[in-house]
Structure 1
C-alpha cells in the first residue's frame, strides 16, 4: 500500500514548482514510510510514498514504461491479487518485465488493454497514469472503494491524491467548506455522499469509476456496478460457491513478502477469515498464523449487555484462537490511549469521524504494526449478507430514510437553531436518500418486501460500507499497516447480491447461508454467535475526560463550535452522565462520551485545517 498525489497544469511550467508537489506528497508519509519518489515534467507531476509489501527491490514509483514512441507513467496505491496470472498473460502477448511488482503488471495491462484492463483486475487499487503522447491523465478506483482517491479540478488543470490532506496542501486549493459540506459532516456524518469531498471544489472518485482528463476536459465513466438477476443456484450449490469464493480470495490476499496477520473479534466474519487463513498457511507450510484482538481496561467491570451487544468479545476470541491454533495477541487500551490520540484520528481521516471507534482502531493498528505489515479483516460480511439489525427490524425496514440514521432528530437537537436553518439537515438527508434509491438496480417481478430488502442492501453497500472502509484505510495506513478485506472481493459481492433473502436468513438467525458455508471449519457455537458491534469503552473515566476537554473548548469564545452547537443543550448532556443510547447511531452504540469526542474533533477540524466557511 502507498500514498499517491499529482498535479496537471496547462497554465504554467510546473517544473518550477517542485515544492508544491513535495507539499502534497509529504502528508502521505505515514501511508508509505519505506520510500518516496516524484516525477515532474512541464505540465504533469506525480508523487508517491511507498509501503513495501511485494518485491522490495522492484516496484519503485513513479514508474515509467516506453512502448514504441509512447511513454506512460504510473503512481499506484493498492494490491492486485491476480497480478501473477495477468503477468503470464501479458508475457504470452509479447510483453517483458523488469521486476516482480504488481505495479509494473498494472501499468503494462493498461498499455495493452486501456480502460478495459479494469475489468480484468482482482484487487484493491487507486492509481493514476499519464500518457505523455496523448497528454491524458487516467485515474481509476477499485470496485468497492477500498482504496481512496480524491481530485480537484483547477481552471486549467487538476489535482489528485490518496487523501484530502494531500490536495489541501497545494497552494491553489482553498480550505473552504460551504453549506453542503457542513451538512455532510453534521447531518450525514460519518457517512459521506459518494463522490462528495466535503471541501469546496474537492471530489471523490466513486468506487467502480475511472476518470480521464485531457486539456481541461474531464470525463467520468463507470466500469463496474451491481446487476440484479435471478439467482441460478440451489441452497447447496450456493453454500459451496460461497465457501469456494471465500477460500480463494483469502488465499489470494495472503500474498505478500512481509508478515501477514488477521484481526480477530471472535465473531463469525473475522473468525471465518482467520480459519481460512490458517488453512492456507498450513497448505503452504508458512507456520502458525498470528492474530490480534482489541480490548479495554476494566471492560468486564463496566460492560452492560444490551440487545445490540449481548456479550464481550474476549472469551470468543480465546475460543477461536485456541481452536485454530493461532499465536494470539490481545491489545488492551486504556482511557489515556483514547484521549491522547483523539486528534490524531481526526488528522488521519481529515474529517470528524466515529470518535473513539476511530481512535481505538488507530492505536490498535499501531500495536499490530510492530509485528506485521499486512492484516486481513472481516469488513463487508454484514453488508453483503444482511447482518445488521436494520435488515430485520420492521421499523427500520419501513423507515423513509437511511435505516442507520433514524435518530437524526437527536443529533439535530444539539445544534443551534441558526445552524440547523443554514444546513437544513432533514431536507439534505432526504435528498441524498432519494438519490441513492434512484440508483438501485431493480429486479422485475420482485415482491414489495424483496424489493425493499434489495434497496436496503444497496444503501448499505454504497452508503454505509464506504464509511467503514474509509475508517479502516485511514486509521491503519496512518501507521503504515495495510489491511485487506476478503469479503470485498467483487466476485463474492456480485454472487451474494442476488441470493434470495429467504436463503440468506432464517427467522432470528442472520447470515444463515454464510454460517452454513463455514460449517466444518469453525465450532458451532462460534458459527451461531449473535453479531456484536466493534467495541467502544464503557469506562466512566473516558466520559469524564471528554467532558473536561469539551468544557474547556466551550469556554473559548473563539471556538467554531459556538457557531454550530446549542451550548446550553450540550451542557445539559454533560450533567447527565455517560448514558449510552439504546438505539445505535451508524451501527455503534453512541453515548454522550462519544458525542463529546465528535464535537472535540469538530473543534480541532475547524482550527487545524484552517477552514473558511463558504
Structure 2
C-alpha cells in the first residue's frame, strides 16, 4: 500500500511550486515509509509515498510511460489481485512490460483501454493518471472502497490525496466546517455519508466511481454498482460457490514479496481466512503461517458476559491456531497506553472516530508491523452475510431508519441548542436515510420482507461498512501495515448480494449460510461460536482516565468542545455514577468510556486541526 497526492492547475507553472507538493506528500510518509517520489509538469504535479510489497525495483512511483509520443504518469495506492491474467492479456495485445509491478499493469491497461481499464482490474486501489497530451487527469477508486481518495477544487486548483491531511497541508485549503460537516460529525458520527469529506468543499470519491478532470472541469461517473437479479442456486450449490469464491480470493490476496500473515480472533470470519491461508502456505511450501490476536491486560479479571460480547477471544484463537498449526502471537494492550493513543488514532483518521476501538487497532497494527508487512483480516463478513443483531431483530428490521440510529438519538441531547437549530439532527438523519434507500437496486419479484432485507444489506454495505474500512485503512497504514480484506472481494459480494435472506440466515443464525459453507473447513466449536465483536477493554482504570479527562475539559472555559456541545448537559451526564450507567443498544458500538473518548477526540481534533465553524 501507499499514499498518493496531486495538484493540477491550468493557470500556474507547478514546476515552481515544488515545496507545496512535497509538503503534501510528507503527510503520507507513514502510509509509504519505504520510498517517496514526485513528478512535475507545468500544470500537473504528482506525489507518492511507497510501501514496498511487490517488485522493489520495478514499482517506483510516480511512474512515467511514453507511447507513440504521448506521455502518461500514474500515482497509485493498492494491490491488483489478477496480475497474472492482466499481464498475459496486455502482452497478447502487443504491449511490452519491463517490471513485475501492478503499477505498470494499471498504467498500461489505461493506455490500452482508456477508462474501460477499470473493468479489467480485480483489487483494491485508488489511483490518478495524467495524460500530458490531452491535459486530463483520470482517477478511480476500487469497487468496495477499501482504499481512500479525497479531492477538492479551490479556485483554479484541483487537489487530491489518500488522506484529508494531505489536502489540508496545501495553503489554499482551510479547515472549515459548515452545517453539513457539523451534522456529519455530531449526528452521523463515524458512519459518514458516502462522498462527504466533512471539511467544507472536500469530497471523497465514492466506491466504484471514477473522476475526470481537465480544462472543462470535474466529471464523475460510476463504473460498478450492485445489481439485483434472481438467485437460482440451491443451498448446496450456493454454499459450494461461496467456498470457491472465498478460497480464490484468499489465494490471490496471499501474493506478496514481503512477510504476510493473518489476524485471528477465533471468530468464524478470521478463522476461515486463517484456515484457507494455512492451506495455501502448506500447498506452496511457504513455511508456517503467522497469526495475530489482540486483548487487554487484566481483561480476564473484569470481563462480563453480555449480549454483544458473549465470550472473550483468547481460548478460541488458541484453539484455531493449534488446529491449523500457525505460529500465534497474542498482543496485549495496556489501558494507559490505549488512553494515550486516542489522539494519535484521531490524527490517523483525521477525524474523531470510533474512539478506543480505533486506538486499540492502532496499537495492534503497530505490534503486527514489527513482524509482518501484510496481513489478511475478516472485516465486512457481517455486512455481506448478515452478522449483526439488527439483521435478526424484528423491531430493528422494521424501524424505518438506519439500524444504528440509536447512536444518533443518544448523541442529540448533548449538542448545543445553537448547533441543533442549525443542523436539525433528526431531519438530517432522515434525509440521509431516504437518500440511501433511493439508491437500492430493487428486484420486482421481492416480497415486502425480502425487499426490506435488501434495503438492510444495502445500508450496511454502503453506509456502515465504509466506517470499518476507513478504520482499518487509517489505523494500519499509520504504521505502514497493509491489511487485505477477502470478504470485500467484489465477486463474492456480487454473488452473496442476491442470495435470499432465507438462505443467508440458514439455521436462524447470524451468518448462518457462511457457517454452513465452512462447516467442514473449521472445528465445530468455531462454526457454532456466537458472534463476538472486536474486543473492548473492560478495565475500570480506563473509565477513570476518561472521566478525569472530560472533567478537565469542563473546567477549561476555552475548550473547543463546547462550541458544539452543551456544557451543562455534559456536566449533568458526568455527575451520574457512570460505573452503573448502561447506554441501551450502544452495546458493541459504544459504551460510556467510548462516549467520553469520542468527546475528547472531538475537542482535540478541533484544537489540533484549527477547525473553523462557519
Q: 1:84-483 to 2 correspondence within 5 Å?
A: 84-483=84-483
Q: 1:534-549 to 2 correspondence within 5 Å?
A: 534-549=534-549
User: 1:48 maps to what in 2?
Assistant: 48
User: 1:554 maps to what in 2?
Assistant: 554
* Distance across 1 between alignment mates of 2:580 and 2:479: 33
Would the aligned equivalents of 1:348 and 1:474 in 2 still touch at CA under 8 Å?
Answer: yes
* Distance across 2 between alignment mates of 1:581 and 1:116: 52
User: 2:608 maps to what in 1?
Assistant: 608
User: 1:596 maps to what in 2?
Assistant: 596
> Per the alignment, in what secondary structure is the counterpart of residue 28 of structure 2?
helix
Shifted more, 201-210 versus 497-506: the winner is 497-506
* Distance across 2 between alignment mates of 1:245 and 1:584: 34
Would the aligned equivalents of 2:546 and 2:596 in 1 still touch at CA under 8 Å?
Answer: yes
* Distance across 1 between alignment mates of 2:559 and 2:512: 49
5+ residue gaps, structure 2, are none
Residue 422 of structure 1: CA displacement?
1.9
Residue 231 of structure 1: CA displacement?
0.4
> Per the alignment, in what secondary structure is the counterpart of residue 30 of structure 1?
coil
Would the aligned equivalents of 2:38 and 2:47 in 1 still touch at CA under 8 Å?
Answer: yes
> Per the alignment, in what secondary structure is the counterpart of residue 413 of structure 1?
helix
Query: 1:579 and 1:443, CA in 2 relative to 1: closer, same or farther beyond 3 A?
Result: farther
User: 1:78 maps to what in 2?
Assistant: 78
Residue 583 of structure 1: CA displacement?
4.0
* Distance across 2 between alignment mates of 1:20 and 1:580: 49
User: 2:57 maps to what in 1?
Assistant: 57
> Per the alignment, in what secondary structure is the counterpart of residue 506 of structure 2?
coil
Residue 157 of structure 1: CA displacement?
2.9
> Per the alignment, in what secondary structure is the counterpart of residue 28 of structure 1?
coil
* Distance across 2 between alignment mates of 1:335 and 1:316: 23
Query: 1:44 and 1:580, CA in 2 relative to 1: closer, same or farther beyond 3 A?
Result: farther
Residue 582 of structure 1: CA displacement?
5.5
* Distance across 2 between alignment mates of 1:551 and 1:422: 27
Would the aligned equivalents of 1:156 and 1:216 in 2 still touch at CA under 8 Å?
Answer: no
User: 1:577 maps to what in 2?
Assistant: 578
* Distance across 1 between alignment mates of 2:293 and 2:581: 23
- Aligned CA-pair RMSD: 1.1
Would the aligned equivalents of 2:129 and 2:137 in 1 still touch at CA under 8 Å?
Answer: yes
Would the aligned equivalents of 2:295 and 2:330 in 1 still touch at CA under 8 Å?
Answer: yes
Would the aligned equivalents of 2:309 and 2:588 in 1 still touch at CA under 8 Å?
Answer: no
| Structure 1 segments (4+ residues) deviating >6 Å | none
> Per the alignment, in what secondary structure is the counterpart of residue 100 of structure 1?
coil
Would the aligned equivalents of 1:64 and 1:74 in 2 still touch at CA under 8 Å?
Answer: yes
TM-score if structure 1 supplies the norm length? 0.98
Count of residue pairs brought into register by the alignment: 613
* Distance across 2 between alignment mates of 1:401 and 1:560: 31
Residue 579 of structure 1: CA displacement?
4.5
Would the aligned equivalents of 2:265 and 2:316 in 1 still touch at CA under 8 Å?
Answer: yes
Would the aligned equivalents of 1:177 and 1:200 in 2 still touch at CA under 8 Å?
Answer: yes
User: 1:517 maps to what in 2?
Assistant: 517
User: 2:11 maps to what in 1?
Assistant: 11
Residue 288 of structure 1: CA displacement?
1.1
Would the aligned equivalents of 2:6 and 2:160 in 1 still touch at CA under 8 Å?
Answer: yes
Residues 425-445 of structure 1 deviation map (CA, whole Å, 9 limit, x = unaligned): 111110000000000000002
User: 2:527 maps to what in 1?
Assistant: 527
* Distance across 1 between alignment mates of 2:581 and 2:194: 30
TM-score if structure 2 supplies the norm length? 0.98
* Distance across 2 between alignment mates of 1:365 and 1:130: 33
5+ residue gaps, structure 1, are none
Would the aligned equivalents of 1:399 and 1:406 in 2 still touch at CA under 8 Å?
Answer: no
Residue 571 of structure 1: CA displacement?
2.5
Shifted more, 504-513 versus 352-361: the winner is 504-513
* Distance across 2 between alignment mates of 1:297 and 1:584: 26
* Distance across 2 between alignment mates of 1:92 and 1:542: 60
Would the aligned equivalents of 2:406 and 2:585 in 1 still touch at CA under 8 Å?
Answer: no
Residue 160 of structure 1: CA displacement?
0.3
